[in-house]
Amino acid sequence: MGRFEVRDRCVVITGASSGIGKAISACFAREGAHLYLGSRPEEAADLKAWAQELERAHAIRTWTFPVDLALPDGPERFHAAVRGIGRPVDVFVNNAGVLWYGSFAALSLEKQVETVQVNVLAHMKLMHLFLADMVARGEGRIWNVSSVSAFQPSCHHAVYGATKAFVQSLSEAVHEELRGTGVTVSTLNPSYTDTPMIHGEGFPRRLWWFDVSGVRTAEETARIGYRAFKRGKALCITGWQNRLIHTLLLRLTPRKLMAAISYWVLQAKPALKD
C-alpha cells in the first residue's frame, strides 16, 4: 500500500486535549489535515485553545467536540455532532482511553466499569458508526490506539489490559473483513508513554517495567505511529524492545509464566533513597 497523503483530509481524533491524542493531532496538522477534535467536557477550554493554536500554526480548520464518551449515549452524540458539520470523515483516530492502577479486587467497580465504557463500548460504537459512511463511500481509515497490554495479561491494571485485548482482536478481525472495500483498520501499540494517564490517581511513580521498555514522550510515540500509519502498516509496536518481547518472546513463553512475569514487572519500584 502506498503512502497515505493527509493534506485537506478530514481527521477525527478522540482524547485530543492531551497525551498521545494531542501529539497525533499535531502530526496531522503539520501536513495540512483539517481536524475534528474530541475531549471530556471538563477539558473543553484546553481543547479549544489547542485547536486555535493548530489553526494559527498550520492554516487548517478545526472543530471541537467536548463529549463524555463514558455516557451510554456519548459515542452516538459525538458521531452525530461530527457528522453535522457536513464533511466526509477520511480518518478516524480512536484514541480516548481510561486507565486505573491497582488490584482488580481493590479498585472500585465504578472505575472499572468506566474503563470498559470508554475503552471497549465507546471504541466499538465509534468504530462502527464511522465505518458505515466510509464503507458506503469506498474510502477511509480507522486508526485505533491500542497498547502492548493487548498481548498478555496486565496485572495491576487487569481491566485496562483486557479492554486493549478487545480493541486489538476487533481491529484485526474487522481489518480482514474490510478487504476490497477501500477502508482499513490499523492499531498503534505503545508501551508506557509519559501522559496524564500514568500520572493519575494511584499510579506509581515508577514500575519495574520502565527499566525494560523505558517511557517515551507522547510526541515520540505519535511520530513513530504516524509514520507507520502513513505507510499503511496494520500494526505498530513502538520500540525494538517491545517488538522483540511482544512479537517473539511471548510466542515462546508459557502463558502461566507470562502472567507471573507481568505481576512482577508491573509492580511499583521502590523509590531510591537519598
> Catalytic residue among 160, 192, 226, 263, which?
160
Among positive and negative, which fits the CA dihedral 4, 6, 12, 13?
Answer: positive
Which residues, including other chains, have CB under 8 Å from residue 156's CB and lie 6 or more apart?
A: 101, 102, 103, 263, 266, 267
192 is catalytic: no
The span from the first CA to the last CA of the chain, in angstroms, equals 54
Question: Can you read off the three cell numbers belonging to residue 104?
Answer: 482488580
Q: Which three cell numbers stand for residue 257?
A: 509464566
Encode 171-209 in three state secondary structure.
Answer: HHHHHHHCCCCCEEEEEEECCCEECHHHHCCCCCCCECC
Count CB atoms within 10 A of the CB of residue 153: 18
C-alpha angle 121/124/125, rounded to 5°? 80
d(CA 162, CA 166): 6
* DSSP category for residue 33: -
Catalytic positions: 160
